[in-house]
Amino acid sequence: MITSSSQVDRGNHHEAFRVRDCALVALATGLSAQNLREFRDGLQRVHEGSIYHHFWGRFLQPQFDEPEYNNDFASWIYHGLHEKALAERLSVIDPTEYEDISSLREDILERVEERLDETEFVAWARVDEQFHFVRSQIVVLDTGKIIEQPEGLAKAVSEMSLGSIFYHFIDARRRTPEKIDDFSAWLLGWGEKYDTLRYSLMAIDPFFSSLKELRRIITSAALLHLGEEAGHE
């Protein structure tokens, strides 16, 4: 059940889940690339926040690219440089499989270097199709809503904005000490009864789904493990 923060039962020994919303504000880094060598150099120098943005920022932005190119790097290398082979090598990267941004950067650089070693010809993008490395700053908003008990999770998630899904299920993975989503971290405090749901949520890979799909998947998982009645609190 979602209630306003003023309705919290102060006698509850379990911590309520506070629902946040968020938006991303794009910030220029001053780095750009017109060919693959410049892209490699920029990738070596750019702040880690830019790499995070070019993999995850698309979730909160309208997308018009082919779905198989699911990060900004792969998309530009295909559309701007017409390097289909390298675009495909980069498009299969799942950032959730890396320990940190540093190891993700190293793998991208290795794939780019491999392509540079394979060819003497370096493609150039048109001036108006340069790649601009961008960072983003997350702006967090308190919705004033809370979830008092795990049984209210399914209904709460089904009504959340896409910004809330991004903040609690994606961005949380770089904020929580356990590197997990906020829902799973919250359920830790409710005991073993909710372990099955927690493990189910932690097993969801968010990268290859849209935020709408993630909202549906999380809601379905909560309904499955907590019972159909949980969705009608």
pLDDT of amino acid 6 = 33
Q: Is residue 9 part of a domain?
A: no
Same domain, 207 and 155: yes
What's the structural domain count of the chain? 2
Same domain, 103 and 156: no
Same domain, 43 and 80: yes
Provide the residue-wise pLDDT of the chain in tens; the chain has 233 residues: 343 333 333 234 478 999 999 999 999 999 999 999 999 999 999 999 999 999 999 998 865 544 678 899 999 999 999 999 999 999 999 999 999 999 999 999 999 999 999 887 778 888 889 999 999 999 999 999 999 999 999 999 999 999 999 999 999 999 888 899 999 999 999 999 999 999 999 999 999 899 999 999 999 999 999 874 444 44
Output the six-digit token pair for 9: 């039962």
DSSP SS3 for 83: coil
pLDDT of amino acid 184 = 97
Q: Is residue 3 part of a domain?
A: no
Same domain, 38 and 127: yes
CA distances from 146 to 4, 23, 155, 192, 206 (A): 6, 19, 12, 22, 23
Same domain, 157 and 212: yes
Last residue of a domain, one of 131, 163, 188: 131
Same domain, 41 and 120: yes
pLDDT of amino acid 62 = 64
Same domain, 110 and 181: no
Decide: 60 and 172 in contact? Cβ < 8 Å: no
pLDDT of amino acid 63 = 58
Same domain, 109 and 158: no
DSSP SS3 for 191: coil
pLDDT of amino acid 116 = 93
Same domain, 49 and 118: yes
The residue written with tokens 């359920």 in the block is 187
Which residue type sits at 66?
E
pLDDT of amino acid 11 = 33
Same domain, 46 and 102: yes
* Sign of the dihedral through C-alpha 200, 229, 15, 145: positive
Domain enclosing residue 177, as ranges: 150-232
Q: Is residue 2 part of a domain?
A: no
Q: Is residue 140 part of a domain?
A: no
Q: Is residue 41 part of a domain?
A: yes
Output the six-digit token pair for 57: 């920022």
Same domain, 38 and 75: yes
Which residue type sits at 125?
A
Same domain, 54 and 118: yes
Q: Is residue 11 part of a domain?
A: no
